[in-house]
């Protein structure tokens, strides 16, 4: 079914099937999958022993130990369960900039990472957020859900203001099981850290991917200009000189550096993703180097 996707090319999808998402700690899952759970169960990976008690399943008694010590011990195994992965994409009007737009580039990132999760039997859900939580997809599982996941990403167009705090607090409260949350945005909201903290407080493992257009990082504009805020409509006329451009570039570097520093402070993986970066390199090279994929 994924072969009909317009978000990602079939050949690229086949490359993604060689990858898996990295979880840095164990989460309690729902069904048996390919991840280590926090619970003890009956998979093939040995974990520990405990004393036998009346009523325990005799199939899990270590008879070799009994032969040596004449005491009954029960073998315990690590339960393997599915990981929950959540793709949270900024759908505010500021993301509707550039060619490709930041929103389209972000959707492709979410599509690639979600496909990897579904191909590995993880549970994948997500949301598009702006001033409030918008389109919402409860976690789905298995390759058969790939097209429904892609349709979810295709259904929304960017619009409105951004409110990280309100949107992500609502998402954190609505989501029953923590897991890996991938936050994809330009982070152009003063309250973005409060939204991220709402996820961390609910014990999500968070990765932040900051998507910016090259014109935002390194503009080549000079002369008299009228700037229009894409979210508020506010206008301002300015004269751009070479000195002003240098000041702007320094401010942008400080802004991105501040996002990265805050993420590092709270143990959040961070990656800057300019939209002119070849998409396959971002997924197959840079996200692996950032530790999100292996």
Q: Kindly list the distances between the CA atom of residue 191 and the CA atoms of 92, 166, 194, 241, 248, in Å, as whole numbers in the listed order.
A: 14, 9, 5, 31, 21
User: Which among 89, 92, 110, 96 has a CA at the least distance from the CA of 8?
Assistant: 110
44, pLDDT greater than 90: no
Residue 39 has pLDDT above 90, yes or no: no
Q: Per-residue pLDDT tens for 76-109? A: 554 445 789 999 999 999 999 999 999 999 999 9
Please give the pLDDT value at position 3.
44
Rounded mean pLDDT, 5-31: 79
pLDDT tens-digit profile of 250-270? 999 999 999 999 999 999 999
Q: Which domains occur in the chain, in start order?
A: 2-25+83-289 (3.40.50.410), 35-81 (no CATH)
Whole-number pLDDT of residue 56: 62
In 3D, which of 209, 163, 159 has the Cα closest to residue 189? 163
The string of pLDDT tens digits covering residues 236-255 is 888 888 889 899 999 999 99
**Beta strand extents in the chain (DSSP E only):** 35-51, 73-81, 84-90, 123-129, 133-141, 180-185, 205-212, 223-228, 235-240, 269-274
The pTM assigned to this predicted structure is 0.80
pLDDT of residue 57: 67
Mean pLDDT of 49-56: 64
Selection from 256, 2, 37, 214 nearest residue 117 by Cα: 2
Q: HEC profile for 49-81?
A: EEECCCCCCHHHECHHHHHHHCCCEEEEEEEEE
* Alpha-carbon distance values, 40 to 47, 69, 211 (Å): 8, 24, 40
Q: What's the longest Cα–Cα distance across the chain?
A: 90
């Amino acid at each position: 079914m994924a072969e009909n996707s317009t978000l990602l090319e079939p050949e690229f999808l086949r490359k993604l099937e060689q990858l898996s998402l990295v979880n840095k700690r164990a989460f309690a899952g729902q069904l048996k999958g390919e991840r280590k759970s926090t619970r003890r169960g009956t998979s093939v990976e040995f974990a520990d022993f405990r004393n036998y008690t009346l009523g325990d399943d005799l199939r899990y008694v270590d008879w070799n130990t009994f032969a040596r010590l004449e005491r009954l011990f029960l073998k315990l195994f690590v339960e393997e369960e599915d990981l929950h992965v959540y793709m949270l994409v900024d759908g505010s009007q500021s993301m509707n900039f550039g060619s490709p737009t930041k929103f389209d580039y972000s959707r492709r990132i979410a599509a690639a990472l979600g496909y990897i999760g579904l191909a590995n039997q993880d549970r994948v859900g997500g949301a598009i957020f702006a001033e409030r939580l918008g389109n919402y997809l409860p976690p789905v599982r298995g390759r058969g859900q790939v097209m429904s996941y892609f349709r979810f990403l295709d259904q929304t167009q960017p619009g409105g203001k951004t409110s990280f705090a309100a949107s992500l607090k609502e998402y954190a409260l609505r989501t029953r099981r923590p897991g890996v949350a991938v936050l994809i945005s330009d982070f152009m909201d003063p309250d973005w850290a409060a939204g991220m903290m709402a996820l961390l407080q609910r014990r999500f493992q968070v990765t932040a991917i900051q998507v910016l257009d090259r014109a935002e990082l390194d503009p080549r504009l000079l002369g008299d200009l009228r700037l229009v805020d894409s979210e508020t409509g506010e206008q301002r006329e300015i004269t751009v000189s070479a000195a002003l451009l240098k000041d702007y570039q320094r401010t942008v570097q400080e802004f991105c550096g501040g996002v990265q520093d805050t993420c590092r402070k709270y143990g959040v993986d961070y990656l800057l993703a300019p939209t002119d970066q070849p998409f396959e390199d971002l997924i197959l090279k840079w996200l692996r180097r950032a530790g999100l994929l292996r």
